A = this chain, B = another copy of it.
Amino acid sequence: MAALRPRQKDVAALAGVSQAIVSAVINGRANRAMRISRETEQRIWDAVRQLGYVPDPIARKLAGGQNRLLGVFTYEPTFPVQPQTSNYPFLVGIEQEAVAQNYNLLLFTQTNAPDGRRTIYTAGVNNLRLADGAILFGHQAHTDELRQLLAERYPFVFIGRRQVPGHELAYVVAAHVESGAEMVGQVLDLGHRRLAYLRSPVAIEPEQDREEGFRLAHQRRGLPVDERLIARVRPEEVTPTLVAALFAAGVTAIVTEQTGLADQARVAARELGKVAPGDFSLAALGDSMTLPLDPDLTTLIIPRQAIGARAVRLLVQRLAQAEDSAPEQIYLPCAIATGRTLAAPTAPRL
């Protein structure tokens, strides 16, 4: 099928001018270096309209211009089957800001390796170069590939904090440390002094940061952290036995890395006849992507949509900057969903 597109030379011929003039007019360079009569300009736009001319982004890019294509690359499928567990809120923000910045979005679906995994480089080719720059996310990110992107100075912004030893890279991420410290600070300021912290056994960046926030809140108030009250557990390991042990150790508040652990802690405590906030306080430092979020639970809310939008703005900004300007890291604060699980400590029932 492939209808032949009109080219710049077709427009030029129809308007009776040279191709270079068409290029200048279309790119708005008309009124600067080269002044072109309003009449000529009008003829050119008429020809553009008549032929339905649209510049070829590929040719533009090759000739040195940009193509106003923003890439989106995810190591996992961009649209997982279950939207609840997905990148969806990020995409909402990315789309909104792409509209605002007048960029189109390019989803790299050609980047699948034969085994179904996604890779930026296939046979040594950087597939992202189709776009002016790209937004990356996904926990599976290969450090090797990021290093190579950095080496060839391809402009990209990561969603999420990423470390590539020896390099700095641009990213946008929730302020897990600071927001975690704020939340834990609220717990401490309510008068709690013995806080348990439940975290998962393997910690990826955001979770490391949340734990750091937990410690930071104590440190800022000159309070000690009892390392014995920090438990690395999977959700199913949060048993009544574990929770009873915490209470026995004088714990009045339980802070968890994410909502799943908090839910488990609640169930376990209830089996012991203990309820939040009457008997103990409970707060989670991460939110849940699953939709039915317990409205009672006091938890952080990760501003995913704002993060997506901010990533687009940062990328567009980088595209306009000198190639060697330092990459920026942006931390967006989380909101605190004030539930009903947080209160001042009461005297323990004996």
Contact = CB atoms under 8 A, between A and B. Distances in A.
Interface of A: 1-3, 5, 45, 48-50, 52-59, 61-62, 66-69, 77-81, 83-84, 86, 88, 91-92, 95-96, 98-99, 102-110, 112, 123-127, 129-130, 132-133, 151-155, 291, 305, 318-325
Copies of the polypeptide in the assembly: 2
A77 B127 CA distance: 27
A227 to B, nearest CB: 41
Contact of A49 (B66, B78, B99, B125): B125
B49 A124 contact: yes
A335 to B, nearest CB: 16
19 contacts: A1-B153, A1-B318, A1-B320, A1-B324, A2-B66, A3-B155, A45-B123, A48-B125, A52-B125, A52-B152, A54-B127, A54-B130, A56-B62, A58-B58, A58-B67, A79-B95, A81-B305, A104-B106, A291-B291
B103 A110 contact: yes
B79 A321 contact: no
A169 to B, nearest CB: 14
A52 B123 CA distance: 10
A77 B91 CA distance: 11
Contact of A98 (B3, B57, B109): B109
A151 to B, nearest CB: 7
B95 A125 contact: no
Contact of A129 (B58, B77, B110, B132): B58
Given A104-B107, A106-B104, A322-B1, A78 B58 contact: no
Nearest to A56: B129
Contact of A109 (B103, B127, B129): B103
A62 B54 contact: no
A91 B104 contact: no
Given A52-B126, A58-B130, A127-B54, A3 B323 contact: yes
Given A78-B95, A102-B110, A54 B3 contact: no
A80 to B, nearest CB: 8
Nearest to A95: B79
Given A95-B109, A104-B110, A106-B107, 14 more contacts: A1-B324, A49-B124, A50-B124, A52-B126, A53-B125, A54-B125, A55-B124, A57-B125, A58-B58, A79-B91, A81-B305, A104-B106, A104-B109, A291-B291
Contacts of A48: 124-125
A54 B110 contact: no
A325 B3 CA distance: 13
A297 to B, nearest CB: 20
Contacts of A92: 77, 79-81
Contacts of A57: 67, 125-127, 129-130
